[in-house]
Amino acid sequence: EAQVTQNPRYLITVTGKKLTVTCSQNMNHEYMSWYRQDPGLGLRQIYYSMNVEVTDKGDVPEGYKVSRKEKRNFPLILESPSPNQTSLYFCAIRDRSQETQYFGPGTRLLVL
């Protein structure tokens, strides 16, 4: 069964303090992506990666960075977090031959 792990699950930080949210998978899927979920806005894609060393911007990439140095990990980096990045973040994976997307449990971030 596909498993997507995110850490931490909850994080409170202050404006400007760099943070990283990790995402790892146990399925060797090529496609990984990050979303943020905000009330009334549904899910918006931040960044995605089609394979190792291949990353692309989603719909709301400003203020975020990602890297894909190995297939199983896809960390989300906030170099200088701001309060408008307070949100619920989800990592997701998908095998390109399949269509089902599997989501991690979410990371709730509060930026003060």
Partner 1 sequence: GNSVTQMEGPVTLSEEAFLTINCTYTATGYPSLFWYVQYPGEGLQLLLKATKADDKGSNKGFEATYRKETTSFHLEKGSVQVSDSAVYFCALLYSSASKIIFGSGTRLSIRP
Cβ of residue 52: shortest distance to partner 1, in angstroms?
A: 16
Choices 16-24, 63-71, 72-80, 98-106 (CB under 8 A): range interacting with partner 1: 98-106
Choices 17-25, 65-73, 75-83, 88-96 (CB under 8 A): range interacting with partner 1: 88-96
Q: Mark residues 30-69: x for contact with partner 1 by CB under 8 A, - for none.
A: ---x------xxxx-x--x-x-------x-----------
- Answer yes or no whether residue 76 interacts with partner 1 by CB under 8 A: no
Strand 10-13 to 107-111 pairing: parallel
Residue 42 CA to chain centroid, in angstroms?
15
Query: Do 105 and 7 contact (CB within 8 A), yes or no?
Result: no
Burial 42-77 (b: 16+ CB within 10 A, else e): eeebbbbbeeeeebeebebbeebebebeebbbbbbe
Q: Which of 9, 23, 7, 21 is nearest to 81 (CA)?
A: 21
Closer by beta carbon to partner 1, 23 or else 111: 23
Out of 17, 82, 96, 112, which residue is the one contacting partner 1 (CB under 8 A)? 96
Q: Furthest-apart CA pair in the chain: how many Å?
A: 41
Q: Which residues of this chain interact with partner 1, rule CB under 8 A?
A: 4, 33, 40-43, 45, 48, 50, 58, 90, 92, 94, 96-106
